[in-house]
Chain A
Amino acid sequence: EDQVTQSPEALRLQEGESSSLNCSYTVSGLRGLFWYRQDPGKGPEFLFTLYSAGEEKEKERLKATLTKKESFLHITAPKPEDSATYLCAVQARGRGSTLGRLYFGRGTQLTVWP
């Protein structure tokens, strides 16, 4: 069964203190791995898509990397406005109508304090 596990569940950082969030996945053939940011009471906001091991994507203070078993979201010198829940999701490669659905982890709740 396709599964996504994120760690830690919660992370508190001081402003400027860099860290990484982890997303481990088990999927019957990875079609894509997606990172989203979600603010309280809002829908997830798309950040990155990674397709193959070794791939990296960057956006401002965020950098996402991918291996065959996990993905990391590195946050460099975070600011309070980076506080949110970060969700990881995978899409499986395969036949039939299951193509397209995303399997989400439970997310990492990040708090950055001044």
Chain B
Amino acid sequence: DTGVSQDPRHKITKRGQNVTFRCDPISEHNRLYWYRQTLGQGPEFLTYFQNEAQLEKSRLLSDRFSAERPKGSFSTLEIQRTEQGDSAMYLCASSLGGAGYEQYFGPGTRLTVT
């Protein structure tokens, strides 16, 4: 069990640029979640996948955000035309199932938009 991994760990970008983050879940986990966390707050749900299907998106996920999970393995989260308000820690988690199953988090990607 190698755990959830995320890449990059840190990203600094200029406002208006596009960024893409990658998440590799625990191999046997079919559910993958994306959360966003700002300083002093708990993680906020963005979206989740069951295998390759994206089942839900939060209202926090504007049209500038898109997530994919091709072939039900790794996932990518892309932010287009970044804004300073996008600066946050982006967390990925995976679980064996849905309701009742604990979610295991990766180390996060810290995004800073200048």
Binding site for B on A (CB under 8 A): 4, 31-32, 34, 36, 41-46, 49, 51, 87, 89, 91, 93, 97-107
- B105 near A32: Cβ-Cβ < 8 Å: no
Using CB atoms, name the residue of chain B closest to A106.
B42
> B99: which of A44, A89, A91, A105 is its contact (CB, 8 Å)?
A91
- List the B side residues contacting A49 at CB < 8 Å: 100, 102
- Also in contact, A97 and B55, with CB within 8 A (given A43-B107, A106-B41): yes
- Also in contact, A100 and B99, with CB within 8 A (given A42-B108, A43-B106): yes
- Interfacial residues of chain B within 65-87, with CB under 8 A of chain A in the complex: none
> B48: which of A43, A101, A104 is its contact (CB, 8 Å)?
A101
Q: List 13 A-B contacts (CB under 8 A).
A: A32-B102, A41-B108, A42-B108, A44-B105, A46-B103, A49-B100, A87-B42, A89-B43, A97-B56, A100-B31, A101-B33, A102-B33, A102-B35
- Also in contact, A98 and B100, with CB within 8 A (given A42-B108, A43-B107, A105-B42): no
Instruction: Name, among A36, A100, A105, the residue most crowded by chain B CB atoms within 10 Å (CB to CB).
Output: A100
- Interfacial residues of chain B within 45-70, with CB under 8 A of chain A in the complex: 45, 48, 55-56, 58
- List the A side residues contacting B56 at CB < 8 Å: 97-98, 100-101
Interface range on chain B (Cβ under 8 Å from partner): 20 to 34
- A106 near B43: Cβ-Cβ < 8 Å: no
Using CB atoms, name the residue of chain B closest to A88.
B42
- List the A side residues contacting B102 at CB < 8 Å: 32, 34, 46, 49
In the assembled complex, the CB of B7 is this many whole angstroms from the nearest CB of chain A, namely: 13
- B98 near A100: Cβ-Cβ < 8 Å: yes
Residue interface bits B10-54, CB-to-A below 8 A is 1, else 0: 000000000000000000000101010000111111001000000
- Also in contact, A45 and B105, with CB within 8 A (given A97-B56, A100-B33, A101-B56): yes
